[in-house]
Amino acid sequence: MQAKIAIGVEYQGTAYCGWQFQKHCLSVQQCLEKALSNIANTPIAVQCAGRTDTGVHAIGQVAHFEYESQRPLRAWVQGVNTQLPKDIRVIWAQSVPENFHARFSALARQYRYVIYNRSVHSAILADRVTWEGRLLDEHRMNVAAQALVGEQDFSAFRAAGCQAAHAKRNVQSIEVSRQQDFVFVDIQANAFLHHMVRNIVGSLMMIGRSEAPVEWIASLLSQGDRTLAGVTAPAAGLYFVNALYPPEFNIPQQPLNRLLWQGS
């Protein structure tokens, strides 16, 4: 009897060339499929909610796979984790109906970008946050970011190598906030273009440093020219937080305080 299983995956992306399998380097997908296959004693292929790039992290990636037999759900958590490197973990597993698809069933994705805004970088948080030594004005950044909300053409924030059919995306919410030395950019959209979040953050950081006016983001959107926007922010600060699904699938959501340096 074939079963479809959804899993939640957490990983630190520093050592990997992103989620997707690639021949020339180690990916999160490659490690996960190998571990699942070892436990299942048969090849397992996984589909994920959103492919992350080299060096990008996740606390709430969702993936699914199909398996031709019955096995306790705890085996897909406890058993698989014994086969994974220490910087990748399955955090939950559950049965899902046949019509569930980790990518195509998702209604939206949430990302958080973490900037460590202190004059000296942290040795402890190296490769886990982006450091900015100059003081950022998070209020200016937040006001500017609101121009991004809604269904719009995001060509100005699209990587040159993006393979998406078009640049229209619906940003449902974006907020820039501060907690002590940390500046957070939280963004939710139906889907994202290649490097879209990092390109947005690079431009917002220029506004936060008063190198560009608050109105600049709206201007960039209207012009649709990537070469006019800020540099791509580093991968180290970006986290895939959640994929959001219709309630009937009952997919767990990860709270932002899973990022331990946020505090409470």
Residues marked as catalytic: 53
> 101: exposed, middle or buried (C-beta count within 10 Å: 0-12, 13-18, 19+)?
middle
> 240 and 61 in contact (C-beta within 8 Å)?
yes
Beta strands, E only, 121-256: 130-131, 150-153, 168-179, 182-189, 238-244
Cα within 13 Å of Cα(197), Cβ side: 31
* 3-state class (DSSP) for residue 60: strand
> 27 and 18 in contact (C-beta within 8 Å)?
yes
Residue 50: count of CB within 10 angstroms of its CB: 20
Residue type, 189: A
Task: Tell me which DSSP letter residue 190 carries.
Answer: S
Q: Is the dihedral of CA 98, 99, 100, 103 positive or negative?
A: positive
* Residues 6 or more apart whose Cβ sits within 8 Å of residue 47: 63, 64, 65, 101, 102, 103
Q: How far apart are CA 117 and CA 218, in angstroms?
A: 25
